Amino acid sequence: MAEYQRSKQVLASPDQVWRIWSDVSTWPRWNPDVAAISIDGPFASGTIGTMTTRSGGRHAITLEEVQPGRSFRLETSAVPGARFAFDCEIRPSDPGSVVSQRISMRGPLAPVFSAMMGKRIAESFEPILAGLKDAAERPS
């Protein structure tokens, strides 16, 4: 199965990046795709919630594989027959951090949607990661 990824150097520590990424109340300010998001509990594996995109879609989401300060996976069924997994990671890098976002898809129609949408979705990670970078590098 194809995976599509983008990464960006950030001049902020992994802890600074994690504070922003793990606080979903900040997402609509720096993520150009998110109009609203809420989760029903802590930013931890198994927590569910809802995300509304600026294009008007409303999606049930689940956080998985949360490793505080390092990574998490956000899963959703944005289209019938496929489950989208967005893997988000922070790695220390001199100076600061490297943030990465990757999408993979699974399900009976995943190969079709991956071929149709995978590269385009990964391209949308560029402004998302740029927004995260700006938020993390902004003085508190």
For β-strands 4-10 and 58-67, DSSP reports them as: unpaired
Task: pLDDT band for 113, please (50, 70, 90 cuts).
Answer: confident
Q: What is the mean pLDDT of the chain?
A: 92
**If you average pLDDT over residues 30-47, what whole number do you get?**
96
- Element holding 134 (H helix, E strand): helix 110-137
pLDDT digits (tens, 9 = 90+) for 11-34: 999 999 999 999 999 999 999 999
Q: State the pLDDT at residue 25.
A: 96
Q: Give the Cα separation of 69 and 14 in Å (integer).
A: 7
Helix (H/G/I), strand (E/B), else coil: 75: strand
> 102 and 8 in contact (C-beta within 8 Å)?
no
pTM to 2 decimals?
Answer: 0.92
Report the CATH number that the domain containing residue 71 is assigned in CATH: 3.30.530.20
**Structural domain range at position 70:** 4-137
pLDDT at 80 over 80: no
In degrees and rounded to multiples of 5, residue 95 shows phi and psi of: -95, 140
Distances (CA, A) of 76 to 56, 59, 73, 86, 124: 15, 7, 10, 9, 17
Q: Give yes or no for residue 85 having a pLDDT over 70.
A: yes
Please spell the DSSP secondary structure of 17-51, one letter per residue. Answer: HHHHHT-GGGHHHH-TTEEEEEESSSSSTT-EEEE
Domain count, the chain: 1
Q: Locate tokens 């998302």: which residue?
A: 128
